[in-house]
């Protein structure tokens, strides 16, 4: 993929010490090829390389002690700029409800993103409602209702006999009377951009005057996604893009070209099918991810969002008193699990983002299930005082949890090590407060 190619190129540069203009140009040629292979728009690549070349073959870089690092820094900066510089926030209406309209082709992920966005807004303390304005596919309304039930958020529907414009209008009145401060309208898509779809979307826009029109596009379609974005922007006008299925996009072409080609920023990215797999798009972090510097900031944010600060303090206290038990161990594990799929989490850690190291992770998720089963099969006394778990108890626990004695032994050993490690951590670092001792 793109990341590996760029990382290889830069590894060579780093290793070189002094660089000549020729070295830099050769490296940039590799970067150019890697970007084109990643399906980045040709014009975008050309401009991008030109900009970097001007900066990178300058005297200051070549004469510096770490020219390789300097070049990488320049590429990182330019990549960040290419994707919009800094993150683009949603704009909220002065008088609620804020109206957000999701548009896009069929299957791009509008309905899923409606749910994800509603979830994230709810977590931010908003009171979102969703409007089901796709009347053409029988399952579409039901799909949104299921999401609403799961999120415990209202979904406004009028069946499939009213016009989308009427539904949108009535939905907003409903939101007003129901005290919802944000409404998200899930609209219908077609397989291709056509007049009928655009006319319908324009009528809705005309009627409800959305604060945000967000175009949902599928990252896996590469430059097609960028073309679609251009068309929607020309014909309807969009405020930004939600780039979905980035989890399945090995190339990255759309992520890198959307802003440069359309002028409209990517505001969110979809990283999976689950409702919590929507992330605010940070160009700087994306650039670092591509260049293999990991994505420590996203990781920390994820950790902070899912880890209960009070619980962490409690743990610290327990560690001090040497009362950290297997129950706490289980609790910790669940918190890590709440952060999302392990492979996603570990992919953000620098040095682990290379695909190779992540192969065994499926197994690890399974191990977590084992550990949960084992601890659940213990008596409360055993969980508090694991030292007391002798051979016959181990046998009983293994039987009860459907695991082997070796599994039980391994867990007890792991627990001991974790406890020791956590003690070391909590002793020194004040800044660990409110965070998992693992990190």
245 belongs to an annotated ligand binding site = yes
Q: Is 112 in the site for Mg ion (CB under 5 A)?
A: no
Q: Is 221 in the site for Mg ion (CB under 5 A)?
A: no
User: Which of the residues 7 through 66 are near ligand GDP (CB under 6 A)?
Assistant: none
Q: Rounded to an integer, what distance in angstroms lies between the CA atom of residue 202 and that of residue 200?
A: 5
148 belongs to an annotated ligand binding site = no
Q: Is 111 in the site for Mg ion (CB under 5 A)?
A: yes
Contact 343, 363 (CB under 8 A): no
Which range binds Mg ion by CB under 5 A, 45-53, 109-117, 212-220, 365-373?
109-117
Q: What's the min distance (Å) between Cβ of 97 and ligand GDP?
A: 22
Which range binds ligand GDP by CB under 6 A, 3-11, 38-46, 109-117, 336-344?
109-117
Nearest to ligand GDP of 298, 335 (CB atom): 298
Return the number of other C-beta atoms located less than 10 Å from residue 198's C-beta: 17
Nearest to ligand GDP of 100, 277 (CB atom): 277
- Go through 308-342 and write b for each residue having 16 or more CB atoms within 10 A of its CB, e for each that does not: eeeebeebbeebeeeebbbebbbebbebbbebbbb
3-state class of 212 per DSSP? strand
19 binds, among ligand GDP, Mg ion, none (CB under 5 to 8 A by kind): none
Nearest to ligand GDP of 110, 285 (CB atom): 110
- Spatial CB neighbours of 298, under 8 Å, sequence gap ≥ 6: 279, 282, 285, 348
User: Which of the residues 140 through 159 are near Mg ion (CB under 5 A)?
Assistant: 140
Return the number of other C-beta atoms located less than 10 Å from residue 217's C-beta: 27
Contact 257, 41 (CB under 8 A): yes
Nearest to ligand GDP of 249, 316 (CB atom): 249
Structural tokens at position 54: 């001007």
244 belongs to an annotated ligand binding site = yes
Q: What's the min distance (Å) between Cβ of 244 and ligand GDP?
A: 4
- What does DSSP say about strands 266-270 and 278-280: parallel, antiparallel, or unpaired? antiparallel
Select from 97, 270, 294, 347 the one that contacts ligand GDP (CB under 6 A). 270
Q: Rounded to an integer, what distance in angstroms lies between the CA atom of residue 36 and that of residue 97?
A: 43
Which range binds ligand GDP by CB under 6 A, 195-203, 268-276, 327-335, 424-432?
268-276
- Spatial CB neighbours of 316, under 8 Å, sequence gap ≥ 6: 426, 433, 437
CA distance readout (Å), 425 to 67, 300, 327, 343, 437: 37, 17, 20, 24, 7
188 belongs to an annotated ligand binding site = yes
- In the bound complex, which residue of the shown chain has the CB atom lying closest to ligand GDP? 270
Give how many residues touch Mg ion by CB under 5 A.
Answer: 3
190 belongs to an annotated ligand binding site = yes
Q: What's the min distance (Å) between Cβ of 184 and ligand GDP?
A: 12
Select from 107, 340, 341, 434 the one that contacts ligand GDP (CB under 6 A). 107
DSSP 273: S
Q: Residues comprising the binding site for GTP?
A: 104-111, 186-190, 244-247
- Which residue ranges make up the site for Mg ion (CB under 5 A)? 110-111, 140
Give the binding site for ligand GDP (CB under 6 A): 104, 106-112, 189, 216, 244-245, 247-248, 270-273, 277
């Amino acid at each position: 993929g793109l990341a590996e190619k760029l990382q290889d190129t830069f590894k060579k540069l780093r290793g070189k010490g002094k660089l000549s203009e020729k070295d830099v140009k050769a490296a940039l040629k590799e970067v150019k090829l890697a970007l084109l292979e990643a399906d980045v728009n040709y014009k975008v690549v050309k401009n991008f390389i030109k900009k970097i070349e001007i900066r990178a073959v300058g005297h200051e870089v070549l004469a510096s002690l770490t020219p390789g690092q300097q070049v990488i820094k320049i590429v990182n900066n330019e990549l960040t700029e290419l994707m919009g510089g800094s993150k683009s926030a949603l704009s909220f209406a002065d008088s609620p409800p804020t109206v957000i309209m999701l548009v896009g082709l069929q299957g791009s992920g509008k309905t899923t993103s409606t749910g994800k966005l509603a979830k994230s807004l709810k977590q931010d303390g908003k009171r979102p409602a969703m409007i089901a304005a796709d009347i053409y596919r029988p399952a579409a309304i039901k799909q949104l209702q299921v999401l609403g039930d799961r999120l415990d958020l209202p979904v406004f529907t009028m069946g499939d006999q009213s016009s989308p414009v009427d539904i949108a209008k009535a939905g907003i009145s409903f939101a007003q009377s129901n005290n919802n401060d944000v409404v998200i309208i899930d609209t219908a898509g077609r397989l291709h951009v056509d007049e009928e779809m655009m006319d319908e979307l324009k009528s809705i826009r005309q009627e409800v005057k959305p604060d945000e029109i967000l175009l949902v596009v599928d990252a896996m379609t590469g430059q097609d996604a960028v073309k679609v974005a251009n068309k929607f922007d020309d014909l309807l006008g969009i405020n930004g893009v939600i780039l979905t299925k980035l989890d399945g996009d090995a190339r990255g072409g759309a992520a890198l070209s959307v802003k440069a080609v359309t002028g409209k920023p990517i505001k969110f990215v979809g990283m999976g099918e689950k409702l919590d797999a929507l992330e605010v798009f940070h160009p700087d972090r994306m650039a670092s991810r591509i260049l293999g510097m990991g994505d420590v900031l996203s990781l920390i944010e994820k950790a902070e969002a899912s880890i209960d600060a009070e619980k962490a303090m409690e743990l610290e206290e327990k560690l001090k008193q040497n009362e950290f038990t297997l129950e706490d161990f289980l609790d910790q594990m669940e918190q890590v699990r709440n952060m999302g799929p392990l492979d996603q989490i570990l992919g953000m850690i620098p040095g682990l983002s290379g695909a190779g190291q992540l192969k065994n992770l499926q197994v690890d998720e399974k191990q977590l299930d084992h550990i949960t089963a084992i601890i659940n099969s213990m008596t409360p006394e055993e969980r508090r005082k694991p030292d007391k778990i002798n051979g016959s108890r181990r046998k009983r626990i293994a039987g009860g949890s459907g695991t082997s004695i070796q599994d039980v032994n391994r867990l007890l050993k792991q627990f001991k090590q974790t406890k020791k490690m956590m003690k070391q951590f909590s002793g020194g670092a004040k800044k660990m407060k409110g965070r998992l001792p693992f990190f």
